[in-house]
Structure 1
Amino acid sequence: VARARYAKGESVTAIAKALGVHRATLYRHLADSA
């Protein structure tokens, strides 16, 4: 879900807020699955 939203150009901050996770956690997730 996060990857799809990020690919659409949504900001990491907005995605993290919506999913209830920290920005750093989300960046790590996006980097791991790239």
Structure 2
Amino acid sequence: MNEDVLTVARARKAKGESVSAVAKALGVSRATLYRHLGDDS
């Protein structure tokens, strides 16, 4: 997970998209996304 993907994930999450939908769109697991987003999720 690089910084560019993480930036996109944060932006999509901020717009109200679910973690599951963001993870699927970016091709990562929900666990990976939660791990990198930390308290932001």
Please give the TM-score of this superposition, normalised by the length of structure 1.
0.85
Equivalences, count = 33
Identify the residue that residue 28 of structure 1 maps to in structure 2.
35
Structure 2: where are the runs of 5+ without partners? 1-7
Q: Distance in 2 between matches of 1:20 and 1:26?
A: 10
Structure with greater helix share of residues: 2
Please give the TM-score of this superposition, normalised by the length of structure 2.
0.72
Which aligned runs of 4 or more in structure 1 are off by greater than 6 angstroms?
none
Please provide the CA RMSD for this pair. 1.3
Pair 1:14-2:21 in alignment: yes
| Identity across the alignment (%) | 82
